[in-house]
Structure 1
Amino acid sequence: MRTEVPGYRDQRGPSHTGANRCNKTGSPVCLAPEPGPPPTEPCCHSRVLTALECCAPCDIVSLSCRYQDFHAFDLSGATRVLEWIGDKGVFVAEYESLKKNEILHLILPLRLSVKENQGLFPERDFKVCHGGFSDTSVFDLKHVPDTRLLVTTGLPGSYLHVWQITEDSDVIQAASTIAVQEKEDSLWPRVAIFSLTTPGVLHGVRLSSLRVVDLESQKTTYTSGVSDSEELSSLQVLDTNTFAFCCASGRLGLVDIRQKWAPSENVSNGRGGPGAAGGRWCAEVGGKVRSPGPSIAILGSNGQLCLLDPRDLCHPVSSVQCLVSAPSPDPELLRVTWAPGLDNCLAISGFDGTVQVYDTTSWDGMGNQVEPLFTHRGHIFLEGHQTDTTPLVTTHTWHPHKPRTLLSAASDASLHVWDWVDMHASS
């Protein structure tokens, strides 16, 4: 039986300016969080914001008028995992090292599952569909497509853990482990899933330990076979035979597992390219990897972002400086993601308590500073954090089918679901 998540209920916390907005006459309009008698005071405690068209200038336009929807929730612990299962469910997992860490399969509130805003719904909380506990920290989690299996990784990094979502109960239970070739105290294996007839788990700490393991037989079906000790920062499966790797140094490659190790790489780290500025890097390949044009985004811990064409990885199409106030305080949390439902649109996080959305359409040349199309600052403002206690966004993800809807989580255990308004398109 599904139960409501304790702590996920909309909070009635201190008032914040985001809940009031202006109507066309410029007078305040307040949206009641649920049906009932009119409140005696403005209902500025609701964590659910629904945008209204605003034709009068006001000092809160930066929040209320820029969201089509905005929902804030509180988890029991911070997560670095937001992994979709279908378009109505998402996995979260805690990552603290000194306790049992909870893994939850959450179902989105009905309001967030419909295609159009249809007003108020009786159920506005996430619901727990399944849950379990890990004895180790969970830094990443992958759902194996078309199965009830999950694979997690974290510290200590000696093993990957395979989990099964039970059919006759609400439990996520441990199923098996996969031994990691190179065991290092401070490093954890990156992981991705090949969706084959028999799924394969791609994992590795360094290039030298990269391998694909058959999930059923646990036999190794592919290895890099090299002694290269470059540390990995991200892995991504592109199709049934191809994956991309990104090293912490900014080295990036595309690999065909049908062949011996011969990746197409950005071996030149010349002016403007990844690695030239130092720091730590992560990458994501967009859905149009087979189409002409830049479909690979690689993000550095200093805010440099390069776009690469997979046909020529050695020469970035563009290299820009994102509008970040300082280098990432925890480069492990760097994240860049392409919007699946929007052309030339991506998001970045891991620098502070914000998520920035950029339109890459007009990017060209090297070294230009670019302005974000939209910045989500809710993790900072909703709790009234002081500068020295500002939470850090730990991860974000785009909704699979709602073009401008994202989920983001932060180190204070906040979880936000927000649908942003493109102010440039609106004007």
Structure 2
Amino acid sequence: MTKASAYVKEIQAKIHEKDQHQPEFLQAIDEFLPTIVPFLEEHPEYIESNILALLTEPERFIQFRVPWQDDQGNWQVNRGYRIQFNSAMGPYKGGLRFHPSVNLSILKFLAFEQIFKNSLTGLPIGGGKGGSDFDPKGKSDAEVMRFCQSFMTELSKHIGPDLDVPAGDIGVGGREIGYLFGAYKRLKQYDAGILTGKPLDFWGSKNRTEATGYGAVYFVKHLLTDLGETFEGKKAIVSGSGNVAIYAIEKLQELGAIPVTCSDSSGFIYDKDGIDLALLKEIKEVKRERLTAYAKERPSAEYHEGASVWDFDTPAELAFPCATQNEIDLSQAKRAKANGVRVVSEGANMPSSLEAAEYFIEEGIFYCPGKAANAGGVAVSALEMSQNSQRLQWEKAEVDAKLDDIMKSIYEACRDTAETFDQKNNFMLGANVAGFEKVAKAMFAQGLV
């Protein structure tokens, strides 16, 4: 065993002992640390400085009570969180998630991934994440507003345009960002750069809503270009039906692919003629209904209640998991390969289990990990920060072109880094090492504070 391998195993063991009740965070650690061993072998100074002990510990963890009143006048309470994990590259940047599943483990894994995702963009942003176990589903607009105002009453003490700039995530869209922004403005002052993902009317960025889904497709576009191929005529399996999935489907169709599935927490749609994007947007963005409504309107669609799209057999070359963490296990990864999947591009964060991800790599499937493939969302969030600082709003085409360029740069960094360590097409190693190298250099130069 090399010195680097022994060091990584020692750090892993300590984290497993300290954080044994945080399975998602431990999964992120176990996916990341072994892949950077080759880099550490060439840079023993990082072992000697014990940088991984610092890097795997959040700089700051904030938990707070969020009391709010429902429409019946009853008082409710939820937990609010903000994890400010690493600021070596710039102010903390990462979304807020409102979902019943939110807990410390999930937010720590998301914030840890965010460090390297943000590093890969080449933009000056550090890693953070936050949210609450509040569920916006089934709540009135007034209830969501009162919750957001209470949440921001506490969060406003810990964020700022040069300190920590939250964005949206699952359960936090334009409506929630608007309420949060209004609450911050009333408590502090008007500052357009305090939140990203804002509505366009008050200095949001054009193409921000589309950015994560578009970016996951652009990453694959540059991979296919390397292979001398295009999207034309290729079938795609897509999970999810939120912003990421919808706009991945939109960009896939624009580039000639045929996405045939989408899903929500109740089941999934298989549409043999290809997803009707206009209908999907109407169901999910306007009416906020379940996918059963899509099936009723679309004769070519099959609705599979309570099932996972990854348990369905249909030939496809491309897979875009855009729903949530750990939606693909090892058996489902094997099914994807049997169905002909050659490329997996993660629109969600850590949607493949570690066993599934390793299987994809071992089988020669092009596995594009979330920290690289879905970095388009935070990249355009950082561009929104730039626009806010300039008091300008760029046109959609300009933002889209910058997004495509950033995704090309991320793809090339993953490809080239993997090849440097004789791991051609191992984009997991490429993304982890390329992201880690920048952060480690910055931490080292700043005195490991």
Q: Is this a same-fold pair by TM over 0.5? A: no
Which structure's relative contact order is higher, taking Cα pairs within 8 Å and 6+ residues apart?
Answer: 2
TM-score relative to the length of structure 1? 0.30
TM-score relative to the length of structure 2? 0.29
